[in-house]
A = this chain, B = another copy of it.
Amino acid sequence: MQINGAMLIGRSEVFGTAGTLNAFNPSDGSTLQPVFGAGDRVEVNRACSLAESAFDSYRETSLGDRARFLRQIAEGLLDLGDTLIERANQETGLPKARLTAERGRTMGQLEMFAKIVEDGRWIAATIDPAIPQRKPLPRVDLLMRRIALGPVGIFGASNFPLAFSVAGGDAASALAAGCPIVVKAHPAHLGTSELVGRVIQAAVASSGFHEGVFSLVIGDGYAIGEALVRHPSIKAVGSTGSRQGGLSLMKLAAQRQEPIPVYAEMSSINPVFLLPTALAINGEGIAKGFAESLALGVGQFCTNPGVVIGIDGHEFERFGAAASTEVNMRSAGTMLSPGIHAAYERGVARLTAVAEMEPLAMGVQLEGSCLGTPALFAIDAKTVMAKPELLEEVFGPVSTLIRCATQEEMFNIATRIEGQLTASIFAQGDDLPLARQLIPILEKKVGRIVFDGFSTGVEVGWAMVHGGPFPATSDSRTTSVGASAIDRFLRPVSYQNLPVELTPIYLQDRNPAHIPQTRDTRFQQP
């Protein structure tokens, strides 16, 4: 499959005329071919209108057809073979092994949502049969199901060119729910996006679906994303990106004539709490795991451990020393883009400039383009309480140890942090009472609590929550990874006294779709 530098609007290949864009190799600073034609409002409007036209037929496709479609996309990604991995490697600087694993994860997500579609629990089919003899009033016949929200606008993420981009988690869950999608490619991996987009485009065609089920638009700057969020046919937005980016999407969506939900994953420092006994038993092992998690993917994970909180004293100092040794040994790595690299350098400089901040360690600096060097700092909890901006995310391989004078200070830090995707607690034996006190604080702050481990490595399963209170995400009621991600794109509709001839198969008494139904408050397996 070839990269033509095009947008994919329904079944058409469209070369934008609002300027040109190139992908860029962060490893060597070179410009990648071909040239892409940037789109504008015109293409966004066309894509959204097509999505609107596709909505009614796509949302009523059979569960089998929709599951097959998702699996076909997964197979298409695999069929791209090295073409995809190589292009993604060139555009992001991420190692091929990581990208191969990410492709596997992306395929796994599509497969999981195919199974979820077939399973049918997402429909929440509910049947309250009439009770004509009820007093004082008869009970009417009432049915409920969940239907797709409508066309969804999706923004590709910089840090996951496959798993959170064109055929990533937002796309898979929205398509599973029955929503056509219009994806805005991340400008840092335009070629990868086009390749993946062509796979979806082909799967739409071979499934016999309306062409408007999928479109891919590209463009630099704010205007094209704004046009997408503002378009009246778009009924929800999915995005993984910066806090600033997420906040502006939220604002745009709230200002629409019809406000719509925005699912933006924004920023997280993923605090790690090291309790005394765990430190005493295995401080060095934890330090090794910490440095690995910190440097993984050059720290460019949403779940990167940005602060580590411990009680000041010998054990925490020993941990700091071991972690410093680990960080000092690790080399700089290529970051995703010059913009991300520059922001990282600014973030580290900002931490360095804080008078109370103690620089603990710095990885091996190398000469080259877009290189981010791991760094470790330490500071006392009192200063952090006075300067809460130190608890804001710096995207990249940097972390700060926070030394608490007392357990009380540790609780204060836990209470002070903003909403996060994750928190980790290392606790052993005598630490359990302390952990038990931390949990209710952290439950209110994060989407996932990890014990005796770091939060990088996000399992795609039914029990996963990759979400959390603001500002980690724009909507704490949801997750962007895992089975519940489909809930974001559904809304309930009920039908009263519906004639049998008009009843959707999911709500029919004889249950021809073989899905779970809740009948008279009881959940019934098919």
By a beta-carbon cutoff of 8 Å, the part of chain A in contact with chain B is 56, 60, 101, 104, 115, 119, 121, 124, 126-128, 136-137, 139-140, 142-144, 147, 149-150, 250, 254, 258-259, 261, 419, 427, 432, 435-436, 439-440, 443-444, 446-453, 455, 457, 459, 461-465, 467, 469-471, 474-479, 482-484, 490-499, 501-502, 516, 518, 521, 523, 525
Q: A143-B463, A461-B142 are in contact. Are A493 and B432 (CB under 8 A)?
A: no
Contacts of A115 on B, CB cut-off 8 Å? 521
Q: How far is the CB of A375 from chain B (nearest CB, A)?
A: 27
Closest to A499 in B: B451
B419 near A495 with CB under 8 A, answer no
A161 to B479 Cα, complex, angstroms? 37
Q: How far is the CB of A456 from chain B (nearest CB, A)?
A: 12
Which residue, A432, A443, A452, A493, has most C-beta atoms of chain B within 10 A? A493
Closest to A475 in B: B261
A496 near B139 with CB under 8 A, answer no
Q: How far is the CB of A7 from chain B (nearest CB, A)?
A: 27
Contacts of A462 on B, CB cut-off 8 Å? 126, 128, 144, 518, 521
A446 to B491 Cα, complex, angstroms? 11
A432 near B523 with CB under 8 A, answer no
Contacts of A476 on B, CB cut-off 8 Å? 149, 491
Q: How far is the CB of A282 from chain B (nearest CB, A)?
A: 14
Which residue, A127, A143, A479, A491, has most C-beta atoms of chain B within 10 A? A491
Q: How far is the CB of A508 from chain B (nearest CB, A)?
A: 14
What are 23 contact pairs spanning A and B, CB under 8 A?
A: A115-B521, A128-B459, A128-B464, A140-B453, A144-B463, A144-B464, A144-B484, A149-B477, A250-B259, A259-B470, A432-B502, A435-B499, A436-B502, A439-B502, A447-B492, A447-B493, A448-B494, A450-B497, A453-B497, A462-B518, A465-B493, A467-B491, A483-B521
Contacts of A484 on B, CB cut-off 8 Å? 124, 144, 492
Beyond the given pairs A254-B254, A449-B494, A462-B521, 20 more chain A to chain B contacts, judged by CB atoms under 8 angstroms and listed by A's residue number, are: A60-B440, A104-B136, A127-B463, A128-B463, A250-B254, A259-B474, A261-B477, A435-B502, A443-B493, A447-B492, A447-B493, A448-B494, A449-B498, A451-B495, A451-B496, A451-B499, A453-B497, A462-B518, A476-B491, A477-B492
Closest to A518 in B: B462
B463 near A142 with CB under 8 A, answer yes
A523 near B521 with CB under 8 A, answer no
Contacts of A516 on B, CB cut-off 8 Å? 523
Contacts of A495 on B, CB cut-off 8 Å? 448-449, 451
Contacts of A450 on B, CB cut-off 8 Å? 496-497
B493 near A144 with CB under 8 A, answer no
Q: How far is the CB of A76 from chain B (nearest CB, A)?
A: 22
A440 near B56 with CB under 8 A, answer yes
Closest to A60 in B: B440
Q: A470-B259, A502-B435, A525-B523 are in contact. Are A142 and B496 (CB under 8 A)?
A: no
A523 to B526 Cα, complex, angstroms? 12
Q: How far is the CB of A78 from chain B (nearest CB, A)?
A: 16
A497 near B452 with CB under 8 A, answer yes
Q: How far is the CB of A239 from chain B (nearest CB, A)?
A: 15
B523 near A448 with CB under 8 A, answer no
Which residue, A432, A449, A463, A471, has most C-beta atoms of chain B within 10 A? A463
Contacts of A149 on B, CB cut-off 8 Å? 476-477
A459 near B150 with CB under 8 A, answer no
B493 near A451 with CB under 8 A, answer no
A496 near B128 with CB under 8 A, answer no
Which residue, A139, A439, A449, A457, has most C-beta atoms of chain B within 10 A? A449
A101 to B136 Cα, complex, angstroms? 9
A139 near B463 with CB under 8 A, answer no
Contacts of A461 on B, CB cut-off 8 Å? 128, 139, 142
B469 near A126 with CB under 8 A, answer no
A451 to B499 Cα, complex, angstroms? 8
A345 to B448 Cα, complex, angstroms? 54
Q: How far is the CB of A320 from chain B (nearest CB, A)?
A: 24
A446 near B477 with CB under 8 A, answer no
Closest to A452 in B: B497
A394 to B463 Cα, complex, angstroms? 46
A124 to B482 Cα, complex, angstroms? 14
Q: A258-B470, A474-B259 are in contact. Are A448 and B496 (CB under 8 A)?
A: yes
Which residue, A115, A439, A449, A477, has most C-beta atoms of chain B within 10 A? A477
Q: How far is the CB of A149 from chain B (nearest CB, A)?
A: 7
Closest to A260 in B: B470
B150 near A444 with CB under 8 A, answer yes
A479 to B146 Cα, complex, angstroms? 12
Q: How far is the CB of A85 from chain B (nearest CB, A)?
A: 16
Contacts of A436 on B, CB cut-off 8 Å? 502
Q: How far is the CB of A510 from chain B (nearest CB, A)?
A: 18
